[in-house]
Structures are given as structure tokens and as C-alpha cells.
Chain A
Amino acid sequence: MYTIGILQLTQNLDDAVHGFKAELTEHGIHAEFHYLNADGNIDQLAKLANQLAEKEVDLIFACSTPAAAAAVKLTQDIPVVFTPVFDPIGANLVLSMTEPGGKATGVAGMVKAEDKLNFINRLLPAIKKIGMLYHTEDSNAIVEVANFRKLNNPKVQFIEIPIKEAENLSNLPDILPHDLDALFLPIGKIIEDNFATIVYYTDTLEIPVIASHAPNISDGALAGLVANHYQLGKDCAVKAMQILKGASPSQIPVDTVKTPEIWLNQFTADNLGISFAEDLKEEATEVFE
């Protein structure tokens, strides 16, 4: 019987927890789980991580970058499996993706930039100019934007639209270049949280939005290629089982999202007069009406 701690920043990632538990159960692993959630208070995470350490857990499953950071900082030698941490190296959780080198490993949740670009090309084949709206203070957004800069794509031109603070979104029509074919939203909390404001304006301007945060798609983005959190949890469970059987996390490579899902919003498409390719619709995991 193992004891496993689960450290959450918010409930947002509970799907990952469910996937994690389901995969363990499927492999006949019985564990006692201690689930702690900071309810959004980042400051609480260190204290909660300590509480898990006091329970002498065999392993901590940490959801979100701050939760993983708090678990890794513990003085006790407790292995950490994390997701959907977007930049495990940048967040100092691992030394490299192939050889983490420390007490943590996991599955990064950022869908690869080239996969997203391919998806955008399939979604809107005629697209030439796409805006990339991001918050300059968001470390995840910075990583993703950097990944897009590295892409070699002669077909689509990405125009970066940085905003310094959330209130700037109030003036989005003045900030957006007038000749955009679409707006892409990299991962990033401020942008995701204030999605209603963004789509309010892009609706009026008839600019389709491609989101990275799954809930934004049901709320009015045209589409997105997103990680399935449940699957991330399952993939993390596989690594957890290796660790519980004696492997060292330092040697277990960090994976990235293998099979991202296509989510489409038909209602938005109708409003914008856009039709989805049939094969895209067939492949889609979610189509919101």
C-alpha cells in the first residue's frame, strides 16, 4: 500500500487527478491519497507541501508549475511527478527533458508550436496574417511565443501583440492590427481569464480566435488544439508507477503532450461564416453547437 500526495493550485486540473488515479487503479496499484488544494493561493503551496511531507507520502503528484515548484523545494527526498507544467526547464524543475537529473519528472502540457501551426493551417487554409495576443508578465506565454518565433513557416505571418496589463484588453480594437485573418491566444492565465473581453471585440471585428485554453473554446473561440488533462494524468501515473517500483525520477524523461485534441465551436463558425473541413470535424474530440 502506497501513500501518494496530490498538490493542486486550483481545482482547474482535477481532470488530471482523475486520470492519474484511474490509471493507477487500472494497474492494480492501491494507494492512500492525500489531496491538498491551495484554492488559488500560491502562498499556501509551501505549507501544503509540508503537510504532505509530514504524512510521509511516497510520492507527490503536483498539478501546475507553482505546485510542482513547492513540492520540489521540500527538504525531504520525495519524488515529484508534475503536469501540465509548460516549461519544466525554465521553472527549474528539471535539468533537461531527457535526463531530468533531480527528484522530479512528469509530462509537460504545452502542445507543440509546430502541431498548433499545422492545425491552424488545416483549420483556416487561406490564412496569411495571424495575431498572437499575450501578456508580457506571463512566463508560460513567453515560452510559447518564443516557440512560435522559432518556427519556420513561410505561409503564415505571426504578428505579436503584447499587452502589459489586463486593463489594456479594454482597448483591444485599437491595439489589433486592422488586417488580421485570425487571432491566436498562446497559453497564459490573464488572457484565458479575460477571454470574454477578447471575444467580445473579435466578434464585432469578425476575427476568428484560436485558443490554447480548452474552456475558451466552448465560450466562443473558433477552435483549439488542446491537451487532454485526463490523459496527462494517466501518462503521469505511468511515470509514478516506475518510481514506486524503484526507478529514480532523475532518469525518467519528461514527456510532452503526445495526442492533443481538436476542439471546435460550430456556433462561432456559423456566426463567422466559416465552415470546418470534414476531416477536421471527424477528428474533433469536441464540437460545441
Chain B
Amino acid sequence: MLLTRDSVELLAPVGTWDVLEAAIEAGANAVYLGGKRFNMRMFKTTANFDDATLGKAIEYAHRHNVALHVTVNNLISDRELDNMRSYLKLLDELKPDALIVQDLSILQLAREMNLSVPLHASIMMNTHNEHAVRALQGYGISRVVVNREMSLSQLSLLKERTGIEVEYFIHGDMCISHSGQCVQSGVVFGQSSNRGRCLKPCRWPYQLVDAATGLPIDDQAPGPYKLAMKDMCLYMKLPELIQAGVSSFKIEGRMRTADFVSGIVKTYRKAIDRYIADPMGYTPDLQDWENLQNTRSRDFSTCYALGNPGAAAIGYSGKREPRFFSQAVREADMATLAKRSLPNPTNKLFAPALSVRVADLASLIAACQNGANTIYIGGEVAKPGIPWTLQTMVQAVEEAGKYGAKVIITTPRITMERECGELEQFFSSLAKINPHGLMVGNLGALTLAQQHTALPLQAEFSFNVFNHVAAQLLKNKNVKKATISLEATYEQIMQLVENSPLPLEFIVHGSLPAMITDHSIPEAVLTNQYQSDYDPALDTTRYALLDTAGQQHPIMVDQYGRSNLLFAKDLCLLPHLHSLRTVQNYRIEGQYYTPELVGLITKIYREELDKIAAEQSTYHFDESQLEKIAAASPRELGIGTFRYRLSK
């Protein structure tokens, strides 16, 4: 297809009015900006647009033939829903060219409210496969900001297969974690990155250590900033970008100044126009490239655009980090909440159901013997553990059946193209296994599962269910149960559970991932050149990152080479079960525990849940139960988000 100036949209970030003018003046085809509410850039009170200025900005952009997209890209809690409804109504009247959205509830609300404004899926929706795109298209999404972990060739294919418009970050500050899948700031600080308040724990210094000994690993990398992603810059790869079919080139930086945004926009504008006018004779402008280099904050990387960059995308020295938002803190321990007691809800009680996620058959048996109702198997498995085979899954169902327990098979949270193929292949074998259900990790896997099986489906915590309307959407998609977001605080959980039309499950114990990266952290650090010679130690040793507060964050590298970076403390809400009585379904994340520990924890939670159900008002928590778990646990225990009244 022939290219014209309209083939590519240059999309500029805008935080204030002067940046809006500058971006348009510099040649942006479109701009994106946020209101004062439900926006991902919430740190500066001087930035973003109030309701009246939003209207003026839209008018101004349209007068200059520039499209304007409004970011409504936060997760929202139940108490914010009414405000969100009125905001959506206002935006529909103001008629921007699109809303960029994250929370599933907005898709549902848009349908209920009959919104006419087009919707784009924010990068925070973590869209990385064609099946997710199809599901989003079903909700009227016309464009997706695809996952940064997608390469240009992957997104070409995605566009070709679905016809969706693709927006791709081409320049600016990047996360190390898959978008929408980092909960470290939200859990530790009560300031969620999915709600615009990231305190950037990925910018902390860390030391790579052997998880078993705690000793530092010989480290060739130049500095301690193991997770500090360099800034994205695709200036030198513009032809590849355009020919890959990227509809919109997105520049990051809504808190940047007019000068900065103007400079970047001009540079890319010039290059795009020159390329389209004369693609055969095009070469990058080296003077412009030098200017980009001279005004950069961090060093540049092409990130995942041309494939997994491993160590090349990390700024290990930390020298160019513009600002630190926080230093490592000791995660909240069991004593943190003691001063503040949680209320005792009096709503109706259920017979509490207990699920346990396990990594092997021995753990499955231990959980079943100690009172688990449901066992989760499958999904990501940390090396040196081995993935579940069809054979072990068949055995799992058989073993659990002996105890009257159900087996639900989980699928990975991230399923890129290759893994989707594997998933399809796997689904065709489900009849042999005959499990009781599937728990899927993303919207694409959900769509695939619906096409290939009639099994009851559940949604994993990676769906970030934070309000009851999102639960309603999943219910409408015939999902039978969803997992509550890992970032919700006590009050938010209670409201969500009370309003949800869909049964919800809450994770009360276990080792939880703070973030998931598409590269193996130890491999990047230790081999420097990623994907160089195979080093068997990388598959057999367990590593951890040691932070400056003296805590170890285990790195669980899975069978796909991704790093699941765990919290330093394991979640334990045993003492607070009584306050959680209105929750029907409880889960233990036991896949990183020994079978003995899985058995012990399951037994204790079963006993306490049963006692609460039987004794109700006379229940008294027995501290010795907690001591038993603490003594046997591989890590210290902590209370996660329960430290906070509300998540910001």
C-alpha cells in the first residue's frame, strides 16, 4: 500500500497548555493528554487539564486539524465508579478523538452508557496477542497501544491478522515490567503504578545474589541498577517502524516541557516526511540524531522492537537516572497492622472455599490431604522446576479426585504468539486430562479458551479486577470466577466483594510476583551479551535481587525465560481472616513451597476458616498457628496492602 502523510500518526504527549501549542506547532498529527481525574500522571498538581480546559484543548487541537486523545487509563475502585460515569459522560460530550483506557470496567460502562467516543486500549491493558485484540474489538476498541515487549515483526502480524490500528511507543521512558503487571509500588507503598502513582522500585540499586546462600554473584555488569530500563528511541529504525504497519508513533513524556516535546516531535516529523517523500533515498539525519543524543535523559535503546535486548536495554550504572522517587524499604511485616484493628463485617457468611496453587504432584497431594477444595496446576513454573506435562496433569486430576478436590489448570499470564500456538495445541488435549476448569492469565487466553473448550473459566489476578463493573464484564463473557487485584486494600476488597455479581477469589497467602519481565534477569547480568553461550548454572541456580534495605527478592525464571520477581516477604493474612469473612473463596499461592509447607499452610488456613464459619462471633485467633507457619516459611511473612487504609 502506498504511503501518504496520513499513513503515520505522530502522537505527542501533552501535560500543560504550552506543551499542547508547542507539540502542534512542531508538527504532531495527534496529541494525548489527561484530565485531573483518572489519569496515569498524578504526581504534579500543576499538570493535566481540568474539565473546562479539556474542552478548550479539544477545540484548539481540532482547529489545527490535530487529533486529541484523552487518557482515562487508571484502574478504578468501586468508590470511584460514580465519578467515572460522570467523567465519561462529560468526555462523550466534549468529543475528543479517542479515550485511552485501561480498566475493563470502562469497556462495560461505554456499552451501558452508549458512548460514541472511540476507545483505544492503553498499554496498561497489556495487549500482546491477536486473540486479546479480537476480544477488545468486540468491545468497540479501534486501536491498541501494544505491549512494549512486542517486536515489530510480531506487531506486523498482529495488525495483519486483526486489522486493528497499532500504536507503539517509539521514544521515551519505559518500564522494565510488562505493562499493567507491576504491583510493587501498589503493594509496598499503597501507591499503585496502575493508578498513576508509581514510585519506581525498578530504579533502585540491587545486587544479584545466590538465593540459597545469600552470597553475591560475580557480577560483570558495570553498576547496581539491575532493572533500570534505558529510554526507548527508534529514530534510527524509522523505516522498519513505518513498514511494520505501526499506525501511530507514540512519544512518551506527559510531564515534559514544551521545548523538550517540540524538539522530539520536530525531529521525528522531519524524518517521517522525508521517508514518505523518498523512501529509497532516505537516510537518517545524523545531526538530528546527535541532537537527540545530546538532550537525552537516559541512554537510548531500541528495547524490544528488534527482539529481546537482554542486558543491552538496561542502564546498569544508574548514572543518567534523572530522579529517584524512592529508596528500597523493608516490606510491611506481620506486626505492622497491630495498632489498627480491622472491622468485623456482619454480612452473610459462606462456607469458605480454599484453593491452593502448587508446582508438583507431591504438593497437590499434601494440599488435598489438608483440606484444599481446589488445586491450581500449570502456568509458569520456576526453573529448575519443570513444567506440568500432560501426563502429570492427568495424574493430578486422578489424585485430587481421591480427596474430592477439583483441579483447575492455569495458563501463563503472558502469552505471546508462539505461546498462543502452544495453548491452542494444549487445549485440544484437555479431554484427556478432564480438569474441572481453566484459569486464564489474559484476555487473549480467555478468548482462545472459549473457542476451544466448554470448561468453566476463571480469570487470574493479572486481569487486575479492581471494581465490580470489571467483574460484571467478565461475568458477561461467561467467566465463572475472578481473582481480586493484588493491589486492592482491605476497604477496597470489602466493597468489591459486596458489589460483585461474579464470585471472587482473594489470595491470602503465598509468594507473589511484584513484576514480570520478558528477559531473564540473571542471564542478562551474568552473560552480559544476552543469548550468548548456554550456561547450565542459569537453569539450576536460584537467584535473587538484594535491595539496599537488606531484603532478597527471589527471581523465578520460568520456562519461557521470563523473570517473575517476587516480593521479599510472603503474604500472610491468617490473623485477618476473621475480618475477611464475607469473602467466599480464598487462595494460597504455594507453587514456590515444598510439599510439606504446602500441607502445613493448607491445614492451618482450613482450620481457621472452618473455626470462623462455625464460631462466628466467639472466634478468637490463636497466635500459635501463625508461629507454626512463620517457623517453616522460607521467607519472612508480611501483610502487603493491608498496611494501608486505601490504595492511592
Set A8, A11, A167, A215: member contacting B548, Cβ < 8 A:
A167
Contact indicator A170/B45 (Cβ below 8 Å):
no
Contact indicator A215/B45 (Cβ below 8 Å):
yes
List chain B residues, Cβ under 8 A from A14: 16, 46
List chain B residues, Cβ under 8 A from A35: 18, 258-259
CA distance A235 to B431 in the complex (A): 78
Set A40, A197, A204, A206: member contacting B327, Cβ < 8 A:
A197
Contact indicator A39/B45 (Cβ below 8 Å):
no
**Dominant SS at the B interface?**
loop
Contact indicator A194/B326 (Cβ below 8 Å):
yes
- Seen from chain B, the residues whose Cβ lies within 8 Å of a Cβ on chain A are 16, 18, 43-47, 188-189, 191, 199, 205, 255-260, 295, 297, 322-330, 332, 336, 339, 547-550, 645
CA distance A203 to B545 in the complex (A): 26
Contact indicator A167/B205 (Cβ below 8 Å):
yes
Set A11, A15, A44, A218: member contacting B295, Cβ < 8 A:
A44
Asked if A96 lies at the interface with its beta carbon under 8 angstroms from chain B, I say no
Contact indicator B325/A196 (Cβ below 8 Å):
yes
CA distance A173 to B550 in the complex (A): 13
Give A23-43 as 1s and 0s: 1 = Cβ < 8 Å from B's Cβ atoms: 000000000000111011100
Nearest Cβ in chain A — how far from B211, in angstroms?
20
A11 and B189 contact, Cβ closer than 8 Å, known pairs A193-B324, A196-B325, A197-B327: no
Set B46, B258, B339: member contacting A15, Cβ < 8 A:
B46
Contact indicator A197/B326 (Cβ below 8 Å):
yes
Asked if A143 lies at the interface with its beta carbon under 8 angstroms from chain B, I say no
Contact indicator A39/B260 (Cβ below 8 Å):
yes
CA distance A14 to B44 in the complex (A): 11
A37 and B259 contact, Cβ closer than 8 Å, known pairs A171-B550, A204-B336: yes
Tell me the nearest residue of chain A to B333, going by C-beta: A204
Contact indicator B297/A39 (Cβ below 8 Å):
yes
Asked if A2 lies at the interface with its beta carbon under 8 angstroms from chain B, I say no
A167 and B327 contact, Cβ closer than 8 Å, known pairs A15-B46, A196-B199: yes
Contact indicator B322/A40 (Cβ below 8 Å):
yes
A11 and B46 contact, Cβ closer than 8 Å, known pairs A35-B258, A196-B199: yes
Tell me the nearest residue of chain B to A173, going by C-beta: B330
4 further contact pairs, Cβ within 8 A, besides A170-B330, A197-B329: A35-B258, A39-B295, A41-B297, A218-B45
List chain B residues, Cβ under 8 A from A196: 189, 191, 199, 325-326
Contact indicator A193/B325 (Cβ below 8 Å):
yes
Interface residues in A216-252 by Cβ distance below 8 A to B read 218
CA distance A270 to B422 in the complex (A): 53
List chain A residues, Cβ under 8 A from B258: 35, 37
List chain B residues, Cβ under 8 A from A89: none
Asked if A166 lies at the interface with its beta carbon under 8 angstroms from chain B, I say yes
List chain B residues, Cβ under 8 A from A215: 43, 45
Give A198-223 as 1s and 0s: 1 = Cβ < 8 Å from B's Cβ atoms: 00110010100000000100100000
CA distance A183 to B165 in the complex (A): 52
Contact indicator A194/B45 (Cβ below 8 Å):
no
Q: Interface centre among A166, A196, A206, by most B CB within 10 Å?
A: A196
Asked if A169 lies at the interface with its beta carbon under 8 angstroms from chain B, I say yes
Between A and B, 9 residue pairs with Cβ closer than 8 Å are: A39-B259, A40-B323, A166-B324, A167-B548, A193-B325, A194-B327, A196-B326, A197-B326, A200-B189
List chain A residues, Cβ under 8 A from B46: 11, 14-15
Contact indicator A170/B549 (Cβ below 8 Å):
yes
Contact indicator A11/B327 (Cβ below 8 Å):
no
Q: Interface centre among B255, B260, B324, B329, by most A CB within 10 Å?
A: B329
Interface residues in A16-67 by Cβ distance below 8 A to B read 35-37, 39-41, 44
CA distance A64 to B43 in the complex (A): 20
Q: 8 tightest A-B contacts by CB? A: A170-B549, A170-B548, A167-B548, A196-B326, A37-B257, A197-B327, A169-B327, A170-B328
List chain A residues, Cβ under 8 A from B322: 40
CA distance A3 to B295 in the complex (A): 26
List chain B residues, Cβ under 8 A from A40: 297, 322-323
- Seen from chain A, the residues whose Cβ lies within 8 Å of a Cβ on chain B are 8, 11, 14-15, 35-37, 39-41, 44, 166-167, 169-171, 173, 190, 193-194, 196-197, 200-201, 204, 206, 215, 218, 271
Tell me the nearest residue of chain B to A229, going by C-beta: B46
Contact indicator A193/B323 (Cβ below 8 Å):
yes
CA distance A268 to B503 in the complex (A): 35
Tell me the nearest residue of chain B to A218, going by C-beta: B45
List chain A residues, Cβ under 8 A from B336: 204
CA distance A219 to B303 in the complex (A): 33
CA distance A109 to B46 in the complex (A): 19
CA distance A271 to B322 in the complex (A): 33
List chain A residues, Cβ under 8 A from B295: 39, 41, 44
CA distance A204 to B297 in the complex (A): 35
Contact indicator B549/A171 (Cβ below 8 Å):
yes
Contact indicator B325/A11 (Cβ below 8 Å):
no
Nearest Cβ in chain B — how far from A271, in angstroms?
8
Q: Interface centre among B47, B295, B548, by most A CB within 10 Å?
A: B548
Tell me the nearest residue of chain A to B339, going by C-beta: A206
Contact indicator B325/A194 (Cβ below 8 Å):
yes
List chain A residues, Cβ under 8 A from B326: 194, 196-197, 200
Contact indicator A11/B257 (Cβ below 8 Å):
yes
Nearest Cβ in chain A — how far from B339, in angstroms?
8
List chain B residues, Cβ under 8 A from A201: 329
Set A39, A169, A173, A200: member contacting B256, Cβ < 8 A:
A39
Nearest Cβ in chain B — how far from A219, in angstroms?
9
List chain B residues, Cβ under 8 A from A44: 295
Tell me the nearest residue of chain A to B335, going by C-beta: A204
List chain B residues, Cβ under 8 A from A39: 256-257, 259-260, 295, 297
Contact indicator B327/A166 (Cβ below 8 Å):
yes
Contact indicator A170/B260 (Cβ below 8 Å):
no
CA distance A127 to B172 in the complex (A): 47
CA distance A167 to B332 in the complex (A): 18
Contact indicator B260/A200 (Cβ below 8 Å):
no
Nearest Cβ in chain A — how far from B318, in angstroms?
11
Nearest Cβ in chain A — how far from B202, in angstroms?
14
CA distance A126 to B129 in the complex (A): 61
CA distance A167 to B45 in the complex (A): 27
Tell me the nearest residue of chain B to A203, going by C-beta: B643
CA distance A283 to B504 in the complex (A): 47
Contact indicator A200/B329 (Cβ below 8 Å):
yes
List chain B residues, Cβ under 8 A from A204: 332, 336
CA distance A200 to B648 in the complex (A): 14
Nearest Cβ in chain A — how far from B167, in angstroms?
24
Q: Interface centre among A8, A167, A218, by most B CB within 10 Å?
A: A167
Nearest Cβ in chain A — how far from B264, in angstroms?
11
CA distance A219 to B328 in the complex (A): 18
Tell me the nearest residue of chain A to B323, going by C-beta: A193
List chain B residues, Cβ under 8 A from A170: 327-330, 547-550
Tell me the nearest residue of chain B to A8, going by C-beta: B257
Tell me the nearest residue of chain A to B547, going by C-beta: A170
Tell me the nearest residue of chain A to B322, going by C-beta: A40
Q: Interface centre among A36, A41, A206, by most B CB within 10 Å?
A: A41
List chain B residues, Cβ under 8 A from A8: 257
CA distance A204 to B295 in the complex (A): 41
CA distance A286 to B604 in the complex (A): 49
Q: Interface centre among A11, A171, A190, A194, by most B CB within 10 Å?
A: A11
List chain B residues, Cβ under 8 A from A11: 44, 46-47, 255, 257
CA distance A15 to B18 in the complex (A): 14
List chain B residues, Cβ under 8 A from A41: 295, 297
List chain A residues, Cβ under 8 A from B199: 196
Tell me the nearest residue of chain B to A196, going by C-beta: B326
